[in-house]
């Protein structure tokens, strides 16, 4: 199988090196080694082995009938979208690590690929080298997927882990993550939860066959998380993590999707993910709880996942049964379940106002105290009896906004 790589940044170069260096291993396992023929990038490449294969335009690839498969590691949804379409139209399989593109145009690109008996594969789009896509798409084929809870963003996990273990502020941990290359210079997509939201849309589509517009998912990032939240989590025997969550209601119906800072009990399987690691807990109707854990990013793990997709293309011919098919879920595809967890005011004034409202309105909120006996937060029970469904909205209407809402895996269906 002859291969071209589009976009030779960190991940593209990782894939290129793996193809050049692991030829013998792959030939032994796949019968023949995949052959890297072209790399498309406008920038000159440092590694002379890669530069020797470089073309500045995609035309070289489109016009070369010997190319069977294209690896798209450009990222984003503009050029990558255009090139992916053109490669599929030219009869080439496409393998990608581009979660933005899959989340935005997955339905269309999968359909385009299937219509031409081609594969559009994206194991590397979620969880780096962790085989979560294959697990959902193939290994759990006999299961209805009841829920998926994932720590799918290494940057935010690193920041929250360091805020806890090194007693740092959010700004300090973010700066450290940037220094170590774990966070981008513009970290918004990670820390505001957008990256997790896109990955959640993909996981939910694999579970349900329907792709929601990820912008419909209620997303809360970690920008407002303070040391007080970490201290509260610790006092409750929990870690605080950014968790992407899908909980299925009845079959065929919309799912409850959310990305939010979440209290993860220390003995919960997701608690295994420390530092930049990812972990995804899948609950299936037959298999029960299954967890996958590993490095969610980085050149080598992501390249490993790209190679898994290339191997799949080499091993198995296209058939209707191997082709993923997603529908658009439409705006009604996302349900927001009632809040379950802990709310923590970020200042004293808000704290006092909540205390007043809880008493005056008989809200079903259990006060949580710090060691000195001062109420610092309130816990919302799983089945609140005060009739307030949208508690955050209820407080917001009353001018109470400086509150961190911490979902709780111990106190809901996700336990």
For position 3 contacting its own copies by CB under 8 A, the verdict is: no
Q: How many angstroms separate the CA atoms of 71 and 73, rounded?
A: 6
Question: How buried is residue 385: exposed, middle or buried, by Cβ count under 10 Å (0-12/13-18/19+)?
Answer: exposed
CA separation, residue 2 to residues 27, 34, 48, 301, 318 (Å): 13, 6, 20, 22, 17
Binding range to its own copies, per CB under 8 A, among 2-10, 99-107, 227-235, 279-287: 279-287
For position 31 contacting its own copies by CB under 8 A, the verdict is: yes
Reference 129, options 4, 276, 26; nearest CA is 276
CA separation, residue 386 to residues 354, 365, 382, 389, 411 (Å): 15, 9, 12, 9, 18
Residues 152-211 contacting its own copies, CB under 8 A: 209
User: Pick from 286, 348, 359, 397: which binds its own copies (CB under 8 A)?
Assistant: 286
Considering beta carbons, is residue 70 or 133 the nearer one to its own copies? 133
Q: Residue 307 Cβ, how far from its own copies at the closest point, in Å?
A: 3
Considering beta carbons, is residue 143 or 178 the nearer one to its own copies? 143
Considering beta carbons, is residue 280 or 377 the nearer one to its own copies? 280
CA angle 303–191–195, rounded 5-degree value: 45
Binding range to its own copies, per CB under 8 A, among 99-107, 222-230, 255-263, 307-315: 307-315
Contact 368, 232 (CB under 8 A): yes
For position 139 contacting its own copies by CB under 8 A, the verdict is: yes
Binding range to its own copies, per CB under 8 A, among 35-43, 97-105, 225-233, 287-295: 287-295
For position 316 contacting its own copies by CB under 8 A, the verdict is: yes
C-beta atoms surrounding 108 within 10 Å: 16
Q: Residue 300 Cβ, how far from its own copies at the closest point, in Å?
A: 4
Q: Which helix (H) or strand (E) holds 376?
A: strand 375-380
Q: Which helix (H) or strand (E) holds 80?
A: helix 79-89
Binding range to its own copies, per CB under 8 A, among 56-64, 173-181, 271-279, 370-378: 271-279
For position 134 contacting its own copies by CB under 8 A, the verdict is: yes
Considering beta carbons, is residue 199 or 353 the nearer one to its own copies? 199
Binding range to its own copies, per CB under 8 A, among 44-52, 131-139, 224-232, 352-360: 131-139
Known active-site residue 199: yes
CA separation, residue 119 to residues 22, 23, 102, 142, 311 (Å): 23, 22, 13, 22, 12
The tokens describing 172, both together, are: 């300090």
For position 330 contacting its own copies by CB under 8 A, the verdict is: no
Kindly state the number of chain residues that form the binding site for its own copies, as judged by CB under 8 A.
59
Phi-psi region at 198: left, alpha or beta (left = phi > 0; alpha = psi -120 to 50): alpha
Q: Residue 255 Cβ, how far from its own copies at the closest point, in Å?
A: 16
- Set 92, 99, 117, 199: catalytic member: 199
**DSSP class of 72:** E
For position 322 contacting its own copies by CB under 8 A, the verdict is: yes
- Which stretches of the chain bind its own copies, using CB under 8 A? 18, 22, 25-26, 28-32, 123, 128-131, 134-135, 138-144, 209, 267, 269, 271-272, 274, 279, 284, 286-295, 298, 300-301, 303-305, 307-308, 311-312, 314-317, 319-322
Catalytic positions are 199
């Amino acid at each position: 199988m002859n291969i071209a790589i589009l976009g030779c940044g960190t991940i593209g170069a990782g894939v290129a090196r793996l193809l050049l260096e692991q030829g013998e291993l792959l030939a032994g396992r796949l019968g023949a080694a995949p052959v890297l023929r072209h790399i498309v990038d406008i920038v000159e490449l440092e590694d002379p082995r890669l530069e020797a294969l470089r073309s500045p335009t995609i035309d070289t690839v489109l016009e070369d009938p010997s190319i069977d498969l294209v690896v798209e590691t450009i990222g984003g949804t503009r050029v990558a979208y255009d090139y992916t379409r053109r490669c599929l139209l030219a009869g080439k399989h496409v393998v990608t690590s581009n979660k933005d593109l899959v989340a935005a145009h997955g339905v269309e690109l999968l359909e385009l690929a299937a219509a031409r008996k081609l594969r559009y594969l994206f194991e590397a789009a979620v969880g780096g080298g962790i085989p979560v896509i294959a697990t959902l798409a193939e290994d759990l084929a006999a299961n209805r997927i009841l829920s998926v809870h994932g720590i799918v963003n290494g940057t935010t996990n690193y920041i929250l882990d360091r805020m806890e273990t090194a007693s740092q502020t959010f700004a300090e941990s973010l700066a450290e993550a940037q220094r170590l290359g774990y966070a981008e210079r513009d970290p918004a997509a990670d820390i505001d939860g957008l990256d997790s939201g896109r990955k959640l849309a993909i996981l939910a589509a694999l579970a349900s066959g329907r792709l929601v517009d990820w912008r419909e998912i209620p997303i809360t990032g970690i920008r407002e998380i303070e040391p007080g939240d970490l201290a509260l989590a610790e006092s409750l025997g929990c870690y605080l993590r950014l968790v992407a969550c899908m909980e299925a209601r009845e079959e065929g119906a919309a799912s409850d999707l959310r990305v939010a800072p979440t209290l993860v009990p220390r003995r919960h399987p997701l608690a295994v993910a420390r530092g930049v690691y990812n972990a995804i807990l899948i609950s299936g109707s037959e298999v029960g709880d299954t967890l996958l854990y590993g490095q969610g990013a980085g050149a080598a793990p992501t390249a490993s996942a790209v190679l898994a997709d290339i191997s799949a293309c080499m091993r198995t011919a296209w058939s209707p049964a191997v082709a993923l098919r997603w529908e658009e879920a439409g705006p009604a595809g996302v349900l927001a379940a009632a809040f379950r967890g802990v709310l923590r005011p970020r200042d004293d004034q808000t704290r006092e106002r909540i205390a007043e409202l809880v008493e005056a309105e008989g809200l079903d909120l259990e006060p949580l105290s710090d060691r000195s006996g001062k109420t610092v937060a309130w816990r919302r029970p799983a089945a609140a009896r005060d009739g307030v469904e949208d508690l955050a909205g209820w407080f917001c209407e009353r001018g109470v906004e400086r509150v961190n809402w911490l979902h709780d895996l111990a106190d809901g269906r996700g336990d």
